[in-house]
Structure 1
Amino acid sequence: MKYKQRTALAGAILLAFGAPAFAGTPDGDIQKVVITGSAIKGSESDQILNPAKVLSGDELLDKVGSSLGETLSNELGVSASAFGAGASRPIIRGMEGSRVKMLENGMATSDVSGLSNDHAVASEGATAKQIEILRGPAALLYGSGAIGGLVNVVNERIPTELAPQPTGEAASRYSTVDNGKDVSGSVDGSVGKLALHADGNWRDTLDYKIPGNRIKGDPTSASGHLPHSDTESKSVGVGGSYIEDWGYVGLSASHLSNVYGIPSAEGSRIDQKQNRYDVDSLVKAPFSGFENLKLKAGYTDYHHAELDEQGNPATLFSNRSLETRAEMEHKPVAGMHGTFGFQTENTNFSALSAAGGPDTVPPTHSTSAATFLVEEANAGPLRLSAGVRYETVKRQPINNKERQFNLGSTSFGVSWPFADGYSAGVTLSYAQRAPSIDELYSSGPHDATLTFDVGNPDLVKETSRNVELSLQKTSGLVRWRANLFRNNVSNFIYGNITGLTLDDEGKPGGDFRQRLFQQADAHVQGGEGEVTYNQTGAGWSGRVFADTSRGYLNRGGSLPLQPADRFGTEVGYRRDNWRGGVSLTHAFGQDRLAMSEHTPTPAYNLLDAHIEYTQHVGNNDVTWFVLAKNLLNEDIRMSTSLLKDISPLPGRNFVFGVRTRF
């Protein structure tokens, strides 16, 4: 059964081109999957200007975990915050939090995962058709929250084409490390010119097993299982579109409920809920000289409660957000082809004490409005691309200083196909980010991280200047790519742990560590590369990869939560109805510590494997699979985790499952 090309990042205005990935089918037939909804569509070689990864098909199903961070943690240039099984957010090239934007079907998830590592991303990977990762300057034109990159979860809740007959997918899996049970599914169909979609997921896990003691070298700490690492998650979504020759218009609604433990010393929990409503439309050839018009809108009502050890609410987070987006793609004019558009966002955010103490973040109303333009052109053998975005952001808190920021982003890239199947490129970009609400106005305790956060309403905007050099081979059995990057950030905002301890009222002598939001100039530099063999056909396949990232304050000292250097190899085999593979990743020890960090993380080896067999039952496919994770049962501590000293990753885990497509 072949996979169709997925429409992804609809409405995006990225300075981007198509980026290839490959989805295997049960009989070994391979169909290329590309990012098709970027502002300007391009060929496979254009990935030189858009370092990207598309997870789809069997590759996505093999890697999907209980969180988005876990699902993507072994991708090139990507690590995870690893705040327990329930909350793990992607970190891209050493950039984390509000510098990595999370999208669902091309629109912001509008959760609060960027504010703190204990907050889960409000998007479910188990029902995704495709997950896209864009790193570096290619993502900058999507907004000031994408300096580090972006991740887009595509679930196609609003269909863009009519299904000739009902189709669907369903999967069930059981994991030994946490007695985990997971059931997910989706179905698509059509009635006349009305296309319909529904999906859902249910997951329940207990505290997961760990190889040794909770605190490395401390035999008195917990062993066997990691306390407060359990999860329970439910999601459901429905959508429909009216589709005509002129285009389509569609609606969707979804609900997510997520309760998970925080494996901190205090053992808090988070009860997360979100309702989401989206509108998406496309009109072909709306006016003379234009190819299409896209209009999108999304409303999100997000809440979560941070519960103490007794299950009582300590802090109540709320975020209500309305986002709109419009863009038009024009036909070539004087050799240039591009897209321009507008985007607005209106949010009401708060993090209020449930016990009458100081509020962590006061109620704050934020608005933003942006306009953007992306163009491409050919100049002889060179492909040129340029884009610009201008954005205004206003923060209006209760009983604090109102702030307004004017932000500009621009990017220019050149790709040179110097030989058949080979390309070289350079991309230069300039981007600005407004301080987030918590960085400006925090003034209260955060139980899950055991910090007393103090914002600074006088913070200025961050300014990022990025250069990236790329080289790749995109044809033949053996393919490879390499990227080098450097990002200089003026007025980089970070949380400085001062060493003072406060109580929940902010008075000296309690258990909360004081964290002050401060600014200093910083830079991040690094590289990544991979060599692949036969990723598109039956028989043996292979991959060797490596990535590294270094983040420093210019005045001295490392940035916090920096990823370890890694290299690894994968070997796979695909023939007829069988598919399997083994991967080994080695992470070096990480002793480049920020001033607030005291413990280096040791090196580790992560050995994973998988095998599956597909039966053809009538017109349907049924696939039986076994995944083996951390086969060496290593005690793995992530340098990107605030809980690295007390929260190791799960030990040896076998996942048994079955999935079907019809």
Structure 2
Amino acid sequence: MKNQRTLLASAILSAFSTLAAAQSNDAVVPQVVVTATPFGNSASDQILAPAKVLAGDELRDKAGSSLGETLSQELGVSASAFGAGASRPIIRGLEGARVKMLENGMAVSDVSGLSNDHAVAAEGAVAQQIEILRGPAALLYGSGAIGGLVNVVNERIPTALEPKLTGQLEVRASSVDDGRNASGTVDGSAGKFAWHVDGNARNAGDYKIPGNRVMGDPDSASGHLPHSDTKERNAGLGGSFVDSWGFIGASVSHLTNVYGIPSDEGSKIDQKQTRYDIDSLVKAPFDGFETFKFKAGYTDYQHAELNDENAPEVIFQNHSLETRFELTHKPVAGWHGTFGVQTENTRFSALSAEGGPDTVPVTRSTSKAAFLVEETDFGPVRFNAGGRVERVEREPVTGVDRSFNLQSGSVGAMWPFIPGYGLGATLSYAQRAPSTEELYSAGPHDATVTFDVGNADFKKETSRNIELTVQKTTGLVRWKANLFRNKVSDFIYGHITGNLLDAEGNPGDELRERIFEQADATIHGAEAELEYNPTGAGWSGRVFADTTRGKLDRGGSLPLQPATRVGASTAYKMGAWRAGLSLVHAQSQDRLASFETSDTPSYNQLNANVSYTQKIGGYDLTWFMLAKNLTNDEIRVSTSVLKDISPLPGRNVVFGVRAKF
């Protein structure tokens, strides 16, 4: 039997290799431009800043109710999974403020980086693509983006004139939560004026779970997870004047989102955000320069944390004004680069609605930064370098003012030692100023059931990261492997002490004391991915694995570390039909912080999709079905604060139709 299995495996590998060899190594791959890079390169050119771009059918198949769910099966990316309403991407074990969230290249300016129960105020349902970026290019957007950045691109401010009306409308229904979702985008033009409209509406009830709510407790709730419902509305409108010299435009958008927090207390969050944006580009503005870009954005954000009687307990507010300009110069002595200036002014608070202690006092923060990113070729070696200097000031109405001078830099090189193969290395040094809540928290946080205590004496975080990459980027079979090590001095994390307090901070039994602490830490890991025919017709396939380990240098693990994962998928595309099947296996996670009490068991997540596209007049009508967690496995993720009491949804079948015109 063993010989038969060996012969069968050899035959499959031989057939696979023969088929790959029969194809051109230069198979045509659609170019997807990564808008968050300084030079507008295609995704396949991101050799020094590992990038993943979700777009088109792949994005629609993976789209979930949150950005964390949508990106959770990408290489090196996991999710915080705080119920259906709030799930933020975690990149290589780093979360919160260390992963920058952007919308069209500007900060989302919500408060999702403060706590896992806060939803990202950017909607993936109307996105044209979602970009994941690390490396030197991340320095354009913030010194604190140690983990990387996620950019949601919806192009609310058009950059080109559409020759005719174009758009996309979609409706879908999901079985696990009786969910309904409708979304759409429409773009058009009149003369030299381009316009854009988009919108999304989502209603979902409490979702079904495979077993019991509380891990290991057969007497706990079953059937549906209480307080996991969501109700979201989002709309945007933008326009621009487009000419041969470039464009200038503006947009406005509004989001409302009410979602449950599946904690024992059963609270809800009522989230609202209005944002205004300006974007412009001038081609060849001066001699020696290719483009000048100017962007400005103002965000008015608020959310109220409601108790089980729908009364507000804490109100979070963030008013933010961001500006940035970039100049891209023509090659000088072989160097091609972009430099610019970014400013940000915010007024943040988390105030008690009941007259008790404020969680975070009103705090004004200002940031002024200058950055430079350059690239060149030394023979066959592509070289990339970036630097950023920044000053951050925080001024609370009560407490000690703090200021931080930050310096960050990154260098990398890629050597194509064989045509189609590359060997690369990246070194980066980045500093992050402690966030407002890490410095000044001193009050209850109902949704996380904690009483948070900051430290105004914190030092700035300093990260030193090295990454080694080997990859094959051409042909029918493509692959890459990454090794990384991140040494962080004065890493800030929340420590659950075990003390129980009341809402006033006195001994009690309502809230867990969470004290922000600072210590040196090391995060290291590895990733690998192999793809077969990822964009062509016929059969395609993917296998991947990723692992990361975060430890305090004084001993013990960092909290909420991702589990090691392996996955495989296969798909078939021919004519009007597409179908796919994927399986992800996550190992059990028992590497716990000193204050974490329970391991997370291993799980398997089996997903499938099938779609059929037909032409009706000028419309492409796509009927689709998505199936998630087909085996109805009980899934608890180690990166979730609620892992003990909040499993992920059970078997879910999504039916929908999408029209493109």
**TM-score, L = length of structure 1:** 0.95
Q: Secondary structure at the match of 1:643?
A: coil
The amino acid that maps onto 1:467 is: I
CA deviation profile, 1:48-87 (whole Å, cap 9, x unmatched): 3111100000000011111110111111100000000000
Bigger mean CA offset, 230-239 vs 509-518: 509-518
CA deviation profile, 1:453-507 (whole Å, cap 9, x unmatched): 0000000100000000001001111110011100000000011111111100000
Q: Is residue 70 of structure 1 aligned with residue 42 of structure 2?
A: no
1:18 is aligned to none
Q: Secondary structure at the match of 2:551?
A: strand
Bigger mean CA offset, 482-491 vs 214-223: 214-223
Quick one: distance in 2 between partners of 1:95 and 1:30?
32
8 Å CA contact 1:130–1:155 kept in 2: the answer is: yes
8 Å CA contact 1:141–1:410 kept in 2: the answer is: no
Q: Is residue 429 of structure 1 aligned with residue 428 of structure 2?
A: yes
CA deviation profile, 1:531-583 (whole Å, cap 9, x unmatched): 11011211000011000000000000000000000001001000000000000
1:266 is aligned to 265
1:343 is aligned to 342
Distance verdict in 2 for CA 1:78–1:137, change over 3 Å = farther
1:478 is aligned to 477
Bigger mean CA offset, 219-228 vs 38-47: 38-47
8 Å CA contact 1:435–1:459 kept in 2: the answer is: yes
Q: What is the CA RMSD across the aligned residues, in angstroms?
A: 1.2
8 Å CA contact 1:255–1:275 kept in 2: the answer is: yes
Q: Secondary structure at the match of 2:592?
A: coil
Quick one: distance in 2 between partners of 1:405 and 1:184?
43
8 Å CA contact 1:137–1:147 kept in 2: the answer is: no
Q: Is residue 656 of structure 1 aligned with residue 655 of structure 2?
A: yes
Deviation at 1:36, TM superposition (A): 4.4
Q: Secondary structure at the match of 1:145?
A: coil
8 Å CA contact 2:38–2:137 kept in 1: the answer is: no
The amino acid that maps onto 1:293 is: F
Q: Secondary structure at the match of 2:47?
A: helix
Quick one: distance in 1 between partners of 2:463 and 2:139?
10
CA deviation profile, 1:340-373 (whole Å, cap 9, x unmatched): 1000000000000000000000000000000011
The amino acid that maps onto 1:294 is: K
The amino acid that maps onto 1:326 is: F
1:219 is aligned to 218
2:351 is aligned to 352
Quick one: distance in 1 between partners of 2:205 and 2:418?
54
Quick one: distance in 2 between partners of 1:569 and 1:372?
40
Q: Is residue 487 of structure 1 aligned with residue 476 of structure 2?
A: no
1:205 is aligned to 204
Quick one: distance in 1 between partners of 2:143 and 2:213?
38
8 Å CA contact 2:144–2:430 kept in 1: the answer is: no
CA deviation profile, 1:409-429 (whole Å, cap 9, x unmatched): 011111111111111110001
Identity of aligned residues (%): 69
Q: Secondary structure at the match of 2:57?
A: helix
1:129 is aligned to 128
8 Å CA contact 1:140–1:149 kept in 2: the answer is: no
CA deviation profile, 1:104-132 (whole Å, cap 9, x unmatched): 00000000000000000000000000000
Distance verdict in 2 for CA 1:659–1:30, change over 3 Å = farther
1:175 is aligned to 174
Q: Is residue 440 of structure 1 aligned with residue 439 of structure 2?
A: yes
8 Å CA contact 2:340–2:371 kept in 1: the answer is: yes
Quick one: distance in 2 between partners of 1:135 and 1:278?
25
Q: Is residue 185 of structure 1 aligned with residue 184 of structure 2?
A: yes
Quick one: distance in 1 between partners of 2:264 and 2:145?
32
Deviation at 1:620, TM superposition (A): 1.2
The amino acid that maps onto 1:323 is: E
Mind listing any 5+ residue stretches in structure 2 that lack a counterpart? 1-27
8 Å CA contact 2:260–2:266 kept in 1: the answer is: yes
Deviation at 1:45, TM superposition (A): 5.7
The amino acid that maps onto 1:624 is: W
Deviation at 1:216, TM superposition (A): 2.2
State how 1:469-548 maps to structure 2 within 5 Å: 469-548=468-547
Deviation at 1:175, TM superposition (A): 0.2
8 Å CA contact 1:48–1:471 kept in 2: the answer is: no
2:21 is aligned to none
State how 1:600-639 maps to structure 2 within 5 Å: 600-639=599-638
Distance verdict in 2 for CA 1:349–1:589, change over 3 Å = same
1:292 is aligned to 291
The amino acid that maps onto 1:478 is: V
1:304 is aligned to 303
8 Å CA contact 2:48–2:135 kept in 1: the answer is: no
2:56 is aligned to 57
1:375 is aligned to 374
Deviation at 1:33, TM superposition (A): 1.4
1:449 is aligned to 448
1:386 is aligned to 385
**TM-score, L = length of structure 2:** 0.95
Distance verdict in 2 for CA 1:431–1:37, change over 3 Å = closer
8 Å CA contact 2:136–2:386 kept in 1: the answer is: no
8 Å CA contact 1:468–1:484 kept in 2: the answer is: yes
Deviation at 1:42, TM superposition (A): 4.5
8 Å CA contact 1:137–1:428 kept in 2: the answer is: no
8 Å CA contact 1:48–1:472 kept in 2: the answer is: no
The amino acid that maps onto 2:117 is: D
Deviation at 1:194, TM superposition (A): 0.1
Quick one: distance in 1 between partners of 2:414 and 2:170?
41
Moved over 2 A (4+): 29-32, 40-48, 135-142
Q: Secondary structure at the match of 1:598?
A: coil
8 Å CA contact 1:521–1:554 kept in 2: the answer is: yes
Quick one: distance in 2 between partners of 1:37 and 1:357?
43
2:330 is aligned to 331
Distance verdict in 2 for CA 1:41–1:185, change over 3 Å = closer
8 Å CA contact 1:93–1:135 kept in 2: the answer is: no
8 Å CA contact 1:522–1:551 kept in 2: the answer is: yes
Quick one: distance in 2 between partners of 1:454 and 1:140?
30
Distance verdict in 2 for CA 1:305–1:45, change over 3 Å = closer
Deviation at 1:144, TM superposition (A): 2.3
